Amino acid sequence: MQAAPSQIEARGLARRNPDGGGWLLDHVSLRVAPGARIAVSGPSGSGKTLLLRALAMLDPVDEGELLFEGRPVRRERIPDYRRRVIYLHQRPALIEARVEAALRLPFALRVHRGRSFDRRRIVRMLEDLGREEGFLGKPVDALSGGESQLVALLRAVQLDPSVLLLDEPTAALDPEASRAVERLADDWLAEQPETRAVVWVTHDARQAERMGGRVLRIDKGKIDDAG
Amino acid sequence: MPDDAYINLDFLKLAVAALLIVLSATISLLLRLGLERRLLLAAARTVVQLMLLGLVLKWIFDHDQWYFVLALGAAMTLVAGWAAVRRVERRYAGLLLDSVLAIWVTSWCVTAVALFGVVRVEPWFLPQYAIPLLGMILHNTLNGISLGMDRFAAELAGKRAEVETLLALGATRWEAARGAMQAAVRTGMIPTINTMMVIGIVSIPGMMTGQLLAGVDPFQAGMYQMMIMFLIAGGATLGTVGVALLGYRRLFTAEHQFCPGRILRRD
């Protein structure tokens, strides 16, 4: 048996600055192995978000390639790739009017066909986070920043991805809300620690420490691997 | 023949109508509206443009050749495609080409339906049918396309976070763009639907008025107007769908990526 390939392997991903010379993302190579916990830190504008978006294949890149489970991702498989590797925006859009509808939304997409919304599972997860079933009926407009982030994270983890790419999920949250988000991510990892992986952009060194794992520093689009 | 009842206008008769322009300009002077120059310019343009149109049409009617009809139709279509883009607030590279392509294909197809399938004109290029029909369809398709393009880009730019969230959750580019497409097509269709709702109640539509003046039986004139409304509705809908589809291909890559940076706001 050969060793399990990295879930994601980025080889020299690069993105040009469209407004003039230089690179926004400067030939970044990175392996996200099963079970990995990677914190990405760096000054603002250093390319952290771009790196995560490139890993989710959400932006066009000018050079480099991305392998998933040892193979390049073909165009038509990209939605399927994004089912397995989910990127979460710093300020998530919840789209629907109420929490439950927002959580049900992904199941209307073709890539999730054959699966359905598991309300009991969500209620259980909410209980673990100290919230009651009634939370599902809340209008999304009435949610706090922390609650919105929780809903977005729940919406992602219920799809059982292999990799979560979290873009400063707690940047705008108070410490208590941050802990709840961290806990949800932690629980999700703990369910299958040897296969799931998370890449987490954070400003907060202590958070990086709490979440454990490797810390990648990125500056001017380049990785300075300290981990 | 309708011609029996038809009263020709000469320049003297037209001058009587033009007195109303003079009256309006005088009111503008008296009330210091400052509109008299613009009004006179507009009136002059009306005279020049319609005389030219009359001359061109007369020349084409006299020559009665399919290629002259097609050439005039092509010129009208290009102008319509350009005019549709001119009013659009948000642009992207290739918009003009998309607009011309969408308006060309849809309005020519719809006109062909009218000439070959509905009116069954012999020969098909008979300019007194082909040119006004195309003109009316172009005008309304242009409106639909213009509104639709504007809405499509505005919707995508305004709901960028939603579009990207959908893509991040595994949506195909089509699934991510669908909301904006629906909004665009709806916006492009609404003016035509609204017109059809009140047609004949609030006013007598332009073409029907023309036919009535020319002495056509009112019921026949109504039938013609019905046909035109159906053609216009089809043209506006197909044109808007076409332009939204073309725009979708420009703003989303085959890798299911959304490129909001390609949408530019007009200064």
Listed residues B39, B63, B87: the one ending a domain: B63
Residue A90 lies in a domain: yes
What are residue A220's DSSP bridge partners? none
Interface probe for A, chosen from B156, B164, B165 (most Cβ of A below 10 Å), is B165
Percent of chain A at pLDDT exceeding 70: 96
Residue of A nearest to B178 (CA): A109
> Which residues does B79 contact at the CB level (< 8 Å), separation at least 6?
none
A113-143: pLDDT as tens digits: 999 999 999 999 999 888 899 999 999 999 9
Percent of chain B at pLDDT exceeding 70: 98
- The number of domains in chain A is 1
Dist. CA B189–CA B144, nearest whole Å: 6
Closest in B162, B167, B170 to A95, CB measured: B162
pLDDT value for A193: 85
Listed residues B63, B89, B115: the one ending a domain: B63
Contact: B168, A18; criterion CB under 8 Å: no
pLDDT value for B22: 94
Domain that holds residue A188: 8-225
Determine contact: B172 vs chain A, CB below 8 A: yes
B73-109: pLDDT as tens digits: 999 999 999 999 988 889 899 999 999 999 999 999 9
Residue A165 three-state SS: strand
If asked whether residues B96 and B73 sit together in one domain, one would say: yes
Tokens of A158: 């219920």
- Kindly provide the ipTM of the predicted complex, given to two decimals: 0.93
B191-230: pLDDT as tens digits: 999 999 999 888 888 889 999 999 999 999 999 999 999 9
Assess contact for B167 and B201: CB atoms under 8 A.
no
Contact: A109, B171; criterion CB under 8 Å: yes
Q: Residue A171's domain is classified under what CATH number?
A: 3.40.50.300
Tokens of A211: 């979440």
Residue of A nearest to B260 (CA): A59
If asked whether residues B11 and B89 sit together in one domain, one would say: no
The interface residues of chain B toward chain A in range 128-167, judged by CB-CB distance below 8 A, are: 159, 161-162, 164-167
Using only C-alpha atoms, what is the Rg of chain A? 17
- pTM comes to 0.87
pLDDT value for A1: 41
Dist. CA A41–CA B102, nearest whole Å: 48
B183-192: pLDDT as tens digits: 999 999 999 9
Name every chain B residue with its beta carbon within 8 A of the beta carbon of A79. Answer: 170-172, 256
Domain that holds residue B82: 65-265
Mean of all residue pLDDT scores within chain B: 92
Determine contact: B171 vs chain A, CB below 8 A: yes
